[in-house]
Amino acid sequence: MSSPPVADFIAREARFGARNYEPLGVVLSRGEGVFVWDTQGNRYLDCLSAYSALNQGHCHPKILAAMVEQASRLTLTSRAFHNDQLAPFYEEIAELTGSHKVLPMNSGAEAVESAIKSVRKWGYEVKGVPEGQAEIIVCANNFHGRTLGIVGFSTDAATREHFGPFAPGFRIIPFGDLAALKEAITPNTVAFLVEPIQGEAGVIIPPAGYFAGVRALCTAHEVMLILDEIQTGLGRTGKLLAEQHEGIEADVTLLGKALSGGFYPVSAVLSNNEVLGTLKPGQHGSTFGGNPLACAVARAALRVLVEEGMIENASVQGERFLQGLRSIRANTVREVRGRGLMLAVELNPEAGRARRYCEALQLEGILAKDTHEHTIRFAPPLVITSDQVDWALERIAATLTVDLT
Q: Which residues are catalytic?
A: 143, 228, 257
6 contacts 26 by C-beta, under 8 angstroms: yes
Task: Give the integer Cα–Cα distance in Å for 359 and 19.
Answer: 19
**Order of strands, edge to edge, in the sheet holding 342-347?**
333-339, 342-347, 375-378, 369-371
**E strands, 99-156, where?**
101-105, 135-139
Task: Give the integer Cα–Cα distance in Å for 263 and 206.
Answer: 31
What letter does residue 207 receive in the DSSP assignment?
A: P
DSSP 3-16: PPPHHHHHHHHHHH
Task: Give the integer Cα–Cα distance in Å for 236 and 258.
Answer: 9
Residues whose CB is less than 8 angstroms from the CB of residue 41 and which lie 6 or more positions away in sequence, other chains included: none
Output the CA angle 146-143-372, nearest 5 degrees. Answer: 105
Residue type, 371: T
Closest CA relative to residue 44, chosen from 401, 375, 380, 400: 380
| One-letter-per-residue 3-state SS of 277-337 | CCCCCCCCCCCCCCCHHHHHHHHHHHHHHHHCCHHHHHHHHHHHHHHHHHCCCCCCEEEEE
